[in-house]
Amino acid sequence: LGEVSSPGAYDITQPITVLHALAMAGGYRRETADLTSVILISRDAQGKPFGRRLDLKRILDVGDMSSAILVKPYDVIFIPNTYIQDVRLFMEQYITTVRDIISLANLVTGN
């Protein structure tokens, strides 16, 4: 889920790495994905969900696949927005809201 080219459910029959799962989803969106805070949600032995934060950027930068985490069937991977992308989205929503309020005020006052 998140900042990947093709988010969705993918059928896996054996454990794969998070990077392999990311490749299955068409890769990450380079302009907006924060690879330093990837969330992997798995289930423990009792079936309760737990999350882990992964730094895929470090794995990609160093190239050390020995530290790659395995994904099991039914795991969920979330690639979040970068902080800058979150700020950009907030500003777009803020400006749109202010613009709508001004338009409404102008409509009400006849300006």
- pLDDT tens across 48-63, in order? 999 999 999 888 888 8
Cα(43)–Cα(76) distance, integer angstroms: 10
Name the DSSP class of 15.
Answer: -
Burial class (CB in 10 A: 0-12, 13-18, 19+), 63: exposed
Do the Cβ atoms of 54 and 38 come closer than 8 Å? yes
**Whether residue 43 has pLDDT greater than 80:** yes
pLDDT for 61 equals 87
Do the Cβ atoms of 56 and 38 come closer than 8 Å? yes
Cα(25)–Cα(106) distance, integer angstroms: 46
Which of 65 and 67 is assigned the larger pLDDT? 65
Dump pLDDT digits (tens) for 7-38.
999 998 888 999 999 999 999 998 889 999 99
pLDDT for 66 equals 63
Q: What is the mean pLDDT of the chain?
A: 86
If you search the block for the tokens 């882990």, which residue do you land on? 52
